[in-house]
Amino acid sequence: MLLFAGMFLIFNSATIRRQSPASDGTVFAGLIEDVSAGQTVVDKLVYEADGANAKVVGYRNGISGTLKIPSTVTLTGEQSARSVVKIGESAFYGCSGLQVVIIPDSVTVIDSMAFYECQSLTTVYMLGQNVALNGYSDDMYPFFCNADDEYWNSGDLVNGGYLIYVTSAGYSNYTSQNASDMWQEYNSKNVIKQIDPSGLLVQRVDDTGAFGPFEEYCRIVGYAGSTTSLTIPSTITLDGTPCEVLEIGREAFKGVSLNSVTIPGCVQTINGGAFDGCGLTSVTLNEGLIGVGGSAFKGNNFTTITIPSTVSAIGNWAFVGCNSLTSVYFKGGVDLLDYGEFADDPGFFKVNEYDGEFRSGVSSSTVGIYVPEDYLSDYISVAEGYDGRSWGLYTDLLKGYDPSSNSGENTGVVADIVLPSFMVIVLIGAIVIVAKRRKIAY
């Protein structure tokens, strides 16, 4: 994922970094450097009270890629959460790294210039059914505009380079003759689209020029559906064009209640935290997957994992907090484990990150990491080489099995999760996987 970090903002206040004044003297804010009294910062967003509710008034440095605005926030000094109902004037002005924003259904008002000068922003998900856009005489557009009230590229805007996705229930509110002038202006540019019936929120990604002329693909960035047994499609149609799903974005489903998920083999990457805390009891990942990010399946409820042959990396603590997990199956050779000092800890049978402790009751008689019996001695040898850290912690849990039967030593258990086999790679703060079609960083 390409992260844009440039923030061409001018320091003009002890409290807020500000843009230069507009021709009419208006001073734009956005990036808040020092929080003022009455402001609360949560996950790089700055909030203030808005009556009995709350509003987003700015952001802290470091926002990039996909941003999910939460529906509630607890303000400093308060015990109860407030609903987030508004995105304030110029709240994200100049947030140049922002590519996708997901606005929850709690938000009913977006003030003028809320996303001005967000040069990388191409996709907006509006989950509310009737969101009002405020502006000065309806000419200070919130999205896809620069400081001169001009669209970045009107041709791209008309041709689908920038899109606002809304729910099917709210579509007519944004596109009918009864819609506000500002919504009608966006509709005239043909940028208002309906969210895919699956409820999947996606981003069209174009890697052209990164490592070669790659074709476009889809990254799933969120979920607004109601199905708890989810099968992710291999392609999603965006604006009439089929788009292959190759990636599940960082924290895309985090906290979403799901029973099961099936992910097709075209998906090459599951980024960090993608299914964190979903309560999953069954996950099917198919051959073709290349990487699983850190904390990707943290805190779920499945009992068994089988790891087939195509994954090349699994991130730190990818399975930590999966307290029902008892059996892990690998189908690959030991070379996938042998990555020296860069070996990560996938967190099997562990409750918390960083403490390195197995959950109570874990022993070779209660859990197992099953590897192809032809490679068992090699696995043990490599694991012992970690000298009690990373994979060395799992040495006593390694057992042999026959991959063709997919049943573990003395278990006969059928796996709930199917993953391909891996070599573990650690980079400070991130795992970078070079896929056969593009570079993936997470």
Q: Mark whether 257 and 378 lie in a shared domain.
A: yes
List all residues 6 or more positions away from 429 whose beta carbon is below 8 Å from its beta carbon: none
Residue range 44-60: average pLDDT?
Answer: 96
Q: Which of 216, 265, 206, 218 lies closest to 245, judged by CA? A: 218
**Contact (Cβ atoms closer than 8 angstroms) between residue 419 and residue 330:** no
- Choose among 427, 135, 435, 380: nearest CA to 269: 435
Q: Looking at residues 111-130, what average pLDDT do you find? A: 92
> Are 23 and 142 members of one domain?
yes
In a domain, 159, yes or no: no
For 75-114, how does the pLDDT look when each residue is reduced to its tens digit (9 = 90+)? 999 999 999 999 999 999 999 999 999 999 999 999 988 9
In a domain, 168, yes or no: no
Residue-wise pLDDT for 379-407, tens only, equals: 898 888 877 777 888 999 999 998 877 54
- Residue 289 located in a structural domain: yes
**141 and 222, same structural domain?**
no
Give the integer Cα–Cα distance in Å for 145 and 254. 31
Whether residue 197 contacts residue 218, with contact meaning beta carbons closer than 8 Å, is answered with: no
> 280 and 303 in contact (C-beta within 8 Å)?
no
pLDDT-based confidence at residue 195 (cuts at 50, 70, 90): very high
Q: Are residues 423 and 302 in the same domain?
A: yes
In a domain, 354, yes or no: yes
Report yes or no on 284 lying in a domain.
yes
Phi, psi of 388 (to 5 degrees): 80, 5
Mean pLDDT of 29-52: 89
pLDDT tens, position by position, 224-278: 999 999 999 999 988 778 889 999 999 999 999 999 999 999 999 999 999 999 9
Q: Do 102 and 238 have their domain in common? A: no
Q: Do residue 402 and residue 278 come from a single domain? A: yes
Same domain, 229 and 377: yes
CATH number at residue 38: 3.80.10
**What CATH number does residue 264 fall under?**
3.80.10.10
Give me the amino acid identity at 314: I
My answer on whether 146 and 214 are in the same domain is no
The verdict on residue 162 lying in a domain is no
CA distances in angstroms from 167 to 115, 172, 349, 352, listed in the order given = 20, 10, 40, 38
Which range, of 30-44, 282-296, 340-354, 392-406, averages the lowest pLDDT? 340-354
Q: For every residue of 123-188, which 3-state class applies, written as one string?
A: EEEECCCCCEECCCCCCCCCCCECCCCCECCHHHHHCCCCEEEECCCCHHHHHCCCCCHHHHHHHH
The answer to the question of residue 296 being in a domain is yes
Is residue 109 domain-shared with residue 219, that is, in the same domain?
Answer: no
Domain span at 107 = 10-122+136-151
Mean pLDDT of the chain: 80
* 15-24, 132-141, 301-310, 322-331: least confident range: 15-24
What's the pTM value of the predicted model, to 2 decimals? 0.81
Same domain, residue pair 102 and 226: no
Cα 51 from Cα 390, distance rounded (Å)? 50
Query: What pLDDT is stored for residue 139 in this prediction?
Result: 55
pLDDT at 213 over 70: no
* Residue 166: inside a domain: no
Same domain, 248 and 373: yes
- The tally of domains found in the chain comes to 2
Q: Is residue 8 over pLDDT 90?
A: no
426 and 303 in a common domain: yes
